[in-house]
Amino acid sequence: MGERLLMKGAEALAEAAIRAGAQIFFGYPITPQNETPEYFSRRMPELGRKYVQAESEVASINMVYGAASTGTRVITSSSSPGISLMQEGFSYIGNSDVPCVVVNVMRGGPGLGNIAPAQADYFQATKGGGHGDYHSIVLAPHTVQEQCDLMYDAFELAEKYRIMVVVLSDGLLGQMMEPVEFKDWVDVSKLKTPDWAIVGKGDRPRNLITSFNLDPEGLEKMNLALQEKYKKIAENETRYELFMMDDAEYALTGFGTVARIMKTTVKMLREKGIKAGLIRPITVWPFPYKVYEEFADKVKFFLDVEMNEGQMLEDVKLGVNGKKPVQFYGRFGGVVPTAEEIYKAFRLHLGGC
Amino acid sequence: MKLIYKAPETFTKKPTTYCPGCTHGIAHRIISELLEEMDLVKKAVIIWPVGCAVFGYDFIDTDAAVAAHGRACAMATGIKRAHPESFVITYQGDGDLASIGMAETVHAAARGELITTIFINNGNFGMTGGQMAPTTLIGQVTTTSPYGRKPEVSGFPIHVAEMLATLDGPAYIARASLDSPQHINQAKNFIRKAFKAQLLGLGYSLVELVSTCPTNWKMTPVESLERVRKEVLPVFPIGEFRVVKGVE
């Protein structure tokens, strides 16, 4: 760990990606993450690395697809409507087994929506979004610091599993300033071109990057291989944080920005003598179902809070599996709930129990 | 006996999947010959399109990728920028390049990406069954212009080579035809210059190849070649439209 800097989230994540070894960035501006491509456009040339502003999000994700096919550490960032345009590329990347990192600084939707922080892209990020049976690893940070730390993990996981890793941020984490400490620089001179990369065949047999297979049984095999990979990832890479859950009688749960606010709510409840705690998924795909199953035997009820209509709620319920009630509180359209508001929602459900 | 003509080694032995009389095979052969003549086989990466040529990687033995509909130039941009030592070619049809992928094509050209596009113009969407393309001629019957293409309904054919030649990014833009031995030799000469433009770092290059689609045109191979000469070339004339200094 080195210097401690006060940085805006959207810039800090770019600096973290650079230190984590990002060699090339492709992107297209969209609020509230414009500081990210702007930062890359300044920093990448300084370090002899590359930055290209694409003509659209459709083009930028396909540029990412190309660069990823050469085994180069590549990243793009966008926000909700831009991410929608990238879904075609995500699906192709998913079935081509190439590694890359995508940051989604979520904003209010649907449609043009607004530029305020929201969490309504949970389904899109965790359930595919593009066509076909595919997944990406989805990391959901709740502070600027965690967003930076996860950037290193994002590249490593992407390469380990040859998969796309999404860092699911939002307008709040993108626009707020917080002190951050960066991990050490990745020594990019040690990054090797993988043997599957398409960079010209030289003296080996040719390599091919494709998501295509006309033979149904052949394509089924490709799909089965993907499912095997996803199973392995779910077994080995599922992450979550437990906050004051040791003796908890009530479990609050949420991801990203909301979970950060909920930590304050948990403290407020504890001050009133209510034994509440927080389960915070860090990987929202793969989702930590088991931890909910475990706590279903220990707590009286769960309260899930999200800045959407209850998209993660479905996964929480799958984990709890009907053993205990799962309540929900949500705000839409870029409204960020306060700790007090969540406290009130909790008291309401407590009264109803 | 003296061997005077043989298949290029990079052109694999695998039988092609193209219809009789289709000119994809000629285009493939020209590319293979030039990759060998210019010593580019080991560093070539070809981006194959959706459509009939999607299996191109089975016929030309280089590193390869298959792009999404129309996105070949974006994918090629990513490959070339990430790995500039590669020699990058996109091989695209008229639906792929001039319809769904027009933005990616124009902007790759405008940026002067150091990639080369081989653009097969056969006036319709071949693999999906002969629907109207941006290059379909006025009056031409296709499965989605059953009364013949009418400008008031579907607009006019897009002249890709001429349009891209107005940009500053391309180093070489030309249109050739694959209807006769003379024209095939000229096409090879044009593609050689396009490859040279990339090798010398002069800018984007594209060669449009006026091609046939006997199956969807519902013609014999010979009739298709006659149609190219009589109907297509008057609308899509062959020639060089942009040649920057150093390419010639």
Q: Are the Cβ atoms of B82 and A56 closer than 8 angstroms? A: no
pLDDT at A2: 65
C-alpha–C-alpha distance, residues A78 and A89, integer Å: 14
C-alpha–C-alpha distance, residues A17 and A20, integer Å: 5
Q: Is A241-350 in the same CATH topology as A5-236?
A: yes
Q: Which residues of B touch A52 (CB under 8 A)?
A: 77, 81, 111
Q: Are the Cβ atoms of A63 and B77 closer than 8 angstroms? A: yes
Q: Distance (Å) from the C-alpha of residue B225 to the closest C-alpha of chain A?
A: 31
Over residues A295-317, the pLDDT tens digits come to: 999 999 999 999 999 999 999 99
A273 touches chain B (CB under 8 A): no
- Is B208:B194 a contact under the CB 8 Å cutoff? no
Q: Which of A122, A169, A137 is nearest to A315 (CA)?
A: A122
Average pLDDT over residues A172-181: 97
Average pLDDT over residues A13-23: 98
Return the H-helix or E-strand segment holding A243: strand A240-243
**Residues of chain B under the 50 pLDDT cut:** none
- The answer for B 107-136 residues in CB contact with A (under 8 A) is 107, 111
pLDDT at A128: 87
Residues 6+ apart with CB under 8 A from A273: none
Pairing of the two strands A301-306 and B44-48: unpaired
A198 touches chain B (CB under 8 A): yes
C-alpha–C-alpha distance, residues A345 and A328, integer Å: 9
Q: Are the Cβ atoms of B66 and A68 closer than 8 angstroms? A: no
**DSSP state letters, A63-78:** HHHHHHHTT--EEEEE
Instruction: For residue B35, give the chain A residue with the closest CA.
Output: A200
C-alpha–C-alpha distance, residues B68 and B47, integer Å: 10
C-alpha–C-alpha distance, residues A164 and A324, integer Å: 35
- Is A56:B103 a contact under the CB 8 Å cutoff? yes
- Is A94:A135 a contact under the CB 8 Å cutoff? yes
The DSSP output letter for A286 is S
The DSSP output letter for B127 is T
Q: Are the Cβ atoms of A56 and B103 closer than 8 angstroms? A: yes
pTM summary value: 0.97
Return the H-helix or E-strand segment holding A106: strand A100-106
- Is A300:A250 a contact under the CB 8 Å cutoff? yes
A204 touches chain B (CB under 8 A): no
In Å, how far are A47, A72, B83 from B43, measured between CA atoms? 26, 17, 10
Residue A266 CA from chain centroid, whole number? 24
Q: Which of B86, B91, B89 is nearest to B101 (CA)?
A: B91
B135 sits in the region (left: phi over 0; alpha: psi -120 to 50; else beta) called alpha
Please compute, for residue A245, the number of CA atoms within 13 A of its CA located in the half-sphere on the CB side. Answer: 20
Q: Distance (Å) from the C-alpha of residue B203 to the closest C-alpha of chain A?
A: 16
3-state SS string over B178-191? CCCHHHHHHHHHHH
Over residues B189-212, the pLDDT tens digits come to: 999 999 999 999 999 999 999 999
- The two three-digit tokens of residue A138, written as one number: 């989805």
A152 touches chain B (CB under 8 A): no
B78 vs A62, A201, A210: nearest CB: A62
- Domain range list for chain A: 5-236, 241-350
φ, ψ for residue A151, nearest 5 deg? -65, -40
A72 touches chain B (CB under 8 A): yes
- The two three-digit tokens of residue A141, written as one number: 């940070």
- Domain range list for chain B: 24-243
SS3 A178: strand
- The radius of gyration of chain B's CA atoms, rounded to the nearest angstrom, is 17
CATH of B24-243, one of 3.90.1150.10, 3.40.50.300, 3.40.50.970, 2.40.50.140: 3.40.50.970
Does the pLDDT value for residue A351 go beyond 90? no
- The two three-digit tokens of residue A200, written as one number: 């010209």
- What fold does the segment set A5-236 form as a domain? Rossmann fold (3.40.50)
Q: Which residues of A touch B128 (CB under 8 A)?
A: none
C-alpha–C-alpha distance, residues B102 and B107, integer Å: 8
A72 vs B77, B82, B107: nearest CB: B82
- Is A254:A264 a contact under the CB 8 Å cutoff? no
Q: Which residues of A touch B75 (CB under 8 A)?
A: 62-63, 65-66, 69
Does the pLDDT value for residue A1 go beyond 90? no
Q: Distance (Å) from the C-alpha of residue B70 to the closest C-alpha of chain A?
A: 10
Confidence of residue A3 (pLDDT cuts 50, 70, 90): confident
Q: Which of A315, A140, A164 is nearest to A229 (CA)?
A: A164
Over residues A73-101, the pLDDT tens digits come to: 999 999 999 999 999 999 999 999 999 99
Return the H-helix or E-strand segment holding A306: strand A301-306
pLDDT at A352: 59
Q: Are the Cβ atoms of B66 and A26 closer than 8 angstroms? A: no
Over residues A219-276, the pLDDT tens digits come to: 999 999 999 999 999 999 999 999 999 999 999 999 999 999 999 999 999 999 999 9
Instruction: For residue B77, give the chain A residue with the closest CA.
Output: A63
Q: Which residues of B touch A196 (CB under 8 A)?
A: none
Q: Which CATH class is domain A241-350?
A: alpha beta
Instruction: For residue A64, give the chain B residue with the closest CA.
Output: B78
